[in-house]
Amino acid sequence: MGRPLVLIGAGEMAQIAFEYFTCDSDYEVVAFSVEREYLRAPTLCGLPVLAYEDLERVHAPDRAEVFVAVPATGLNRLRTRLFQDARRRGYRCARYVSSRAFVWRNAEIGENCFVFEGNVIQPFVRIGDNCILWSGNHIGHRSVVGDNVFVASHAVVSGYCEIGAGSFVGVNATCNDRVRVAADNVIGAGALIVRDTEPGRVYVGSPARAVPGRSSFDVAF
Ligand SMILES: CC(C)(COP(=O)(O)OP(=O)(O)OC[C@H]1O[C@@H](n2cnc3c(N)ncnc32)[C@H](O)[C@@H]1OP(=O)(O)O)[C@@H](O)C(=O)NCCC(=O)NCCS
């Protein structure tokens, strides 16, 4: 029997997390949990789906850990709200780092992070809490990824960069070394970030420019 784990969420990210935690971690997923208004089916992947509001009744915080398995919905705001709420209720939030990721010994990875296969995380990197790094990213030496960030796939974050809290980095995006991506940015697929960005904006192209009049909070995820 592995360490008991409840997955918060029942969508695609939760079902993917179920696969990875089950096949590549020492956790044992014991249930899914969603807010009551989103309860649809009583079971998922052969496990119960419980109302999040009274999760303590079945899985108390001293008996089970949770992982908030929600993608970039609402520019990461939904995952952030549930993560903060779970911690406030006394739950410890698990992290998953693929056995097929390369993580240097002194890299730091926060709580409720999910690091897929093929990520390369170099020396002295710091990754905050509640971040999702989908497959195949390069996070270069000394870079700092803030809390609540979602990095899609095959992004290159060069050395000494900062990725601001709450940001989304699209597939195949590239950051030149030492650039600072501000908080709450959306970096479009394939964008090349060559200079520091401004918070709350959407950047596309090579070299990347802010999309005029577009707020990152208006992007539908
Ligand atoms: C950047 C992005 C979020 C913009 O979405 P949006 O806010 O709906 O914006 P629109 O599609 O209306 O595009 C706005 C403008 O930016 C351009 N644009 C959008 N994405 C672009 C990109 N990746 N590269 C270059 N230009 C892009 C559009 O052509 C449009 O330009 P126009 O006004 O001259 O026609 C989206 O296109 C994107 O790249 N998403 C990331 C996809 C991804 O990484 N998915 C991973 C799986 S989670």
Long-range contacts, 10-14 (Cβ 8 Å, 24+):
10/34, 10/38, 10/40, 10/44, 10/49, 11/69, 11/70, 11/71, 12/71, 13/69, 13/70, 13/71, 13/132, 14/44, 14/69, 14/70
Of the three residues 30, 54, 88, the one that is the final residue of a domain is: 88
Residue 201, pLDDT score: 98
According to the annotation, is 213 in a ligand binding site?
no
Q: What is the mean pLDDT of residues 213-219?
A: 97
User: Does any domain span residue 219?
Assistant: no
pLDDT band with cut points at 50, 70 and 90 for residue 1? confident
The answer to whether residue 88 scores a pLDDT higher than 90 is yes
d(CA 97, ligand 1 centre) in Å = 29
Is there a single domain that holds both residue 101 and residue 136? yes
Which is the closest atom of ligand 1 to the Cα of 169? 44
Is there a single domain that holds both residue 45 and residue 113? no
User: Does any domain span residue 221?
Assistant: no
Which is the closest atom of ligand 1 to the Cα of 172? 44
Tokens of 24: 């590549």
List, for residues 102-137, the tens digit of each pLDDT value: 999 999 999 999 999 999 999 999 999 999 999 999
112-130 b/e with 16+ CB inside 10 Å = b? bbbbbebbebbeebbbbbb
Whether 122 contacts 144, CB under 8 Å:
no
Is there a single domain that holds both residue 101 and residue 200? yes
Amino acid letter at 37? E
d(CA 16, ligand 1 centre) in Å = 26
Of the three residues 64, 88, 112, the one that is the final residue of a domain is: 88
Is there a single domain that holds both residue 145 and residue 175? yes
User: SS3 breakdown of the chain: % helix, strand, coil, rounded to 5?
Assistant: 15, 30, 50
Round to whole Å and give the CA distance between 221 and 212: 19
User: Does any domain span residue 196?
Assistant: yes
Is there a single domain that holds both residue 24 and residue 116? no
User: Does any domain span residue 51?
Assistant: yes
Of the three residues 63, 88, 113, the one that is the final residue of a domain is: 88
C-alpha Rg value of the chain to the nearest Å: 17
The answer to whether residue 23 scores a pLDDT higher than 90 is yes
User: Does any domain span residue 218?
Assistant: no
What CATH number has the domain bearing residue 134? 2.160.10.10
Q: What is the mean pLDDT of residues 36-52?
A: 97
The answer to whether residue 94 scores a pLDDT higher than 90 is yes
Residue 110, pLDDT score: 98
Is there a single domain that holds both residue 68 and residue 101? no
List, for residues 55-82, the tens digit of each pLDDT value: 999 999 999 999 999 999 999 999 999 9
Question: How many helices, marked H, and strands, marked E, lie in the chain?
Answer: 2, 24
Whether 25 contacts 96, CB under 8 Å:
yes
User: Going by CA atoms, what residue is nearest to atom 47 of ligand 1?
Assistant: 152
Which is the closest atom of ligand 1 to the Cα of 219? 7
d(CA 73, ligand 1 centre) in Å = 16
Share of the chain above pLDDT 90, in %: 99
Nearest Cα to Cα of residue 29 among 43, 42, 19? 19
Round to whole Å and give the CA distance between 101 and 127: 14
Domain range holding 203? 96-207
Round to whole Å and give the CA distance between 63 and 68: 17
Neighbours of 141 (CB within 10 A): 16
Is there a single domain that holds both residue 103 and residue 79? no
**How many domains is the chain partitioned into structurally?**
2
**Burial, 74: exposed, middle or buried (Cβ in 10 Å; 0-12, 13-18, 19+)?**
middle
User: Going by CA atoms, what residue is nearest to atom 28 of ligand 1?
Assistant: 204
d(CA 181, ligand 1 centre) in Å = 17
Is there a single domain that holds both residue 120 and residue 182? yes
List, for residues 186-214, the tens digit of each pLDDT value: 999 999 999 999 999 999 999 999 999 99
Residue 17, pLDDT score: 98
d(CA 149, ligand 1 centre) in Å = 18
User: Does any domain span residue 53?
Assistant: yes
Is there a single domain that holds both residue 79 and residue 123? no
What CATH number has the domain bearing residue 15? 3.40.50.20
Which is the closest atom of ligand 1 to the Cα of 170? 44
User: Which residues line ligand 1 at a C-beta cut-off of 6 Å?
Assistant: 152, 170-171, 186, 188-190, 202, 204-205, 211, 214, 219
Is there a single domain that holds both residue 123 and residue 169? yes
